[in-house]
Structure 1
């Protein structure tokens, strides 16, 4: 996965030799030239290097958005059968949204691919993204910000379960199609790829090759990796977590390198606010100006209250706008973008913010911490209440008000019932889609919250460097 344009054959060979083996790869194949090329290139290479002990399987996601998609999926199934590659068709069921269809389709697609990977006992997923996709993405993002973008990541961890790798990310579509034409292999052209109502299609028509793009993206990747590493060190030295709900940045941490503070604080804001993305540039400039100022006070941004005091900057979820989550027995879900919950009890439950209840909120933390263990210590335990009393009262009260409360039939769950509900911290910017560029920071954050570490990349090396 070198950030230099390279032939598809060489890219695949480099990818396979970098993999930890034995390995079983799920190929996401739509029937388009990129994914068909990916499958055939992998099949050819795997057969040429049997000592690597790598096997293939494949999955096609039928989004059921247009006539003919089912027939196309069966054509792909026939191709896989001719190659002896196990294949499954996953259909996006249910009603489709009237707006944001591309984002919804992407979410559904990766969820279905993860299910297929589980069913076919695959270790990782690969997709056919190309250098052309990378150029389009960089062009689109360049229209929204002047900052150098990392573009499409070559490796993304999905749902904490499967790494999605993109071995052809720096190979061109023209080279892939030339490979297919030499072998007389046809592909399917999706009509949506010519529909100008989509931004990517419009950008594709305007785009011209930029010879310096690969160098720019390489530099951006190195910069992001360095920021992730320095951000992780910043967490160790300058960040404290209180009761799993209140974050504190120590004063020294607010006076360090602006780029590191920007990176780390933006991601902490997303975590405490339960948001999948860091605050936008305008919000972050306001947050940074406030956090590095000398005047104590409070501001709210991205659903987070930032409380600046002499002993540092406190972060907590604002208690407004927190919607309840209902879970039937056996169901699981994410509450407020901050907690993953699975109902192991025999009754339906509801999760609400403590602020929605009139009773003394301090009692709610014990059942929460009983489930999460680690750094999450019950407030009622010996010495813990005295420890919390040393925190700013209003900041701690605000954090408690945003805590999850478990109830059934409008009554709080007993301690015994609460223990049957799995409730663990959820990091909205990382737990669904985590790029390898943010891996070091996210993994250190997991340690701070005493949650399980993220799955490591299934690679022995990247760009020839051992990892």
Structure 2
């Protein structure tokens, strides 16, 4: 509520819209969303309620709700051509996140402060309230006679965050000091990212694959190797989130032993003095068949005619094309886009030109560097 009023004061003709995510976990939530809508209308701001209905499967409720919020909000913003979304996270949220991740044994990325600005899910996310305490915002609202809604879930000790929140209060820990520590860790993370980005400058990017000098990778500290591997996998697959830390560490051990390994849909293989990272063919085969222009969250394919679709070439179809002449490995060729019509192979434009189809990777070297820095 404080964020909405502050942004409304700031907007000065800028286009501002408001969205509330109703997780449908409490009977009162629909009315609460309507209250936000009424408050938005008093500020002449259009308001939308985005509804989430949880899957019946088990799992971490708060994590699932958080994922749903990001997805629903990003889809809403893109549909309304809004380039950025402002969130109301405070210094208290910063401190609680640090303590939760300490309890889980997180690495430096998990312990670092939430970013004031971050690009993800096709949208820029802004957190302009990180320097303010929750009580500061309540005082600000009280001073302007603005009502707000307290979520009763904030007292439910079934959730990790609420238990941490109460523990911070019980121990008399200073939220501002914890948030300051998270910012210091964030500064250390940025330094590591610059180190990794310097090593990444020597990467060779070609036909949607990444090749790193093996010696540079081997000689780098373990944390830098981890960052390069995670950024490479995300660049290959387009994933919004990094692979799990345990699986990354297992992959690094295998690479150190000279073995090839798969990681979240990427295939990593030491070859001579190089470390080659490409798309895992089996993962490409599982990618949804596309009518274009984008496929596998990796390629843009132009020149498709009605009835033509894009899917992975696959190992069985390699015999129909001269994949060796394209300078790709067998795995890279099998994972490359193929054009089919009524199930019949029409073209493999990355391997053989002349079909009138054009393919371009969705990400380039600049995107790889951004991922190294953002990680």
Give the TM-score normalised by the residue count of structure 2. 0.78
Unmatched 5+ stretches in structure 2: none
Partner of 2:152: 191
Partner of 1:167: 128
- Label 1:178 to 1:333 Cα distance change in 2 as closer, same or farther (>3 A): farther
Unmatched 5+ stretches in structure 1: 1-35, 365-378, 390-395, 428-439, 449-453, 455-467
Partner of 1:369: none
Which digits, 9 at most, give the CA deviation of each residue in 1:109-128, with x for residues without a partner?
Answer: 33443444456554422111
Aligned length: 362
Partner of 1:444: 369
Local SS of the residue matching 2:201: helix
Counterpart of 2:117 (choices 155, 164, 168) is: 155
Partner of 2:39: 79
CA contact under 8 A between 1:338 and 1:426: conserved in structure 2? yes
Per-residue deviation at 1:200? 2.2
Local SS of the residue matching 2:17: strand
- Equivalent positions of 1:193-272 (< 5 A) are 193-208=154-169, 209-210=173-174, 212-237=177-202, 239-245=203-209, 247-272=211-236
CA contact under 8 A between 1:322 and 1:352: conserved in structure 2? yes
1:91 aligns with 2:91: no
Which digits, 9 at most, give the CA deviation of each residue in 1:323-357, with x for residues without a partner?
Answer: 53445757x8763x6557799653373623523x3
Partner of 1:407: 340
CA contact under 8 A between 1:305 and 1:316: conserved in structure 2? yes
Which digits, 9 at most, give the CA deviation of each residue in 1:434-461, with x for residues without a partner?
Answer: xxxxxx9745368x9xxxxx9xxxxxxx
| RMSD of aligned Cα (Å) | 3.9
- Equivalent positions of 1:362-381 (< 5 A) are 362=321
- Label 1:362 to 1:296 Cα distance change in 2 as closer, same or farther (>3 A): farther
| Highest RCO, 1 vs 2 (Cα 8 Å, sep ≥ 6) | 1
- Label 1:56 to 1:322 Cα distance change in 2 as closer, same or farther (>3 A): closer
Local SS of the residue matching 1:157: strand
Partner of 2:273: 311
Per-residue deviation at 1:78? 1.4
CA distance in 2 between partners of 1:313 and 1:147 (Å):
25
Per-residue deviation at 1:284? 3.8
CA contact under 8 A between 1:150 and 1:221: conserved in structure 2? yes
CA contact under 8 A between 1:326 and 1:348: conserved in structure 2? no
CA contact under 8 A between 1:354 and 1:402: conserved in structure 2? yes
CA contact under 8 A between 2:312 and 2:334: conserved in structure 1? no
Counterpart of 2:21 (choices 57, 61, 74) is: 61
CA contact under 8 A between 2:236 and 2:266: conserved in structure 1? yes
Partner of 1:177: 138
CA distance in 1 between partners of 2:250 and 2:55 (Å):
37
Per-residue deviation at 1:363? 5.0
Per-residue deviation at 1:252? 3.4
CA contact under 8 A between 2:235 and 2:368: conserved in structure 1? no
Per-residue deviation at 1:216? 1.9
Which digits, 9 at most, give the CA deviation of each residue in 1:386-423, with x for residues without a partner?
Answer: xx28xxxxxx2122233333434322245799867977
Local SS of the residue matching 1:136: helix
Which digits, 9 at most, give the CA deviation of each residue in 1:29-62, with x for residues without a partner?
Answer: xxxxxxx011223334x28xx6xx6564322233
Partner of 2:5: 40
Give the TM-score normalised by the residue count of structure 1. 0.64
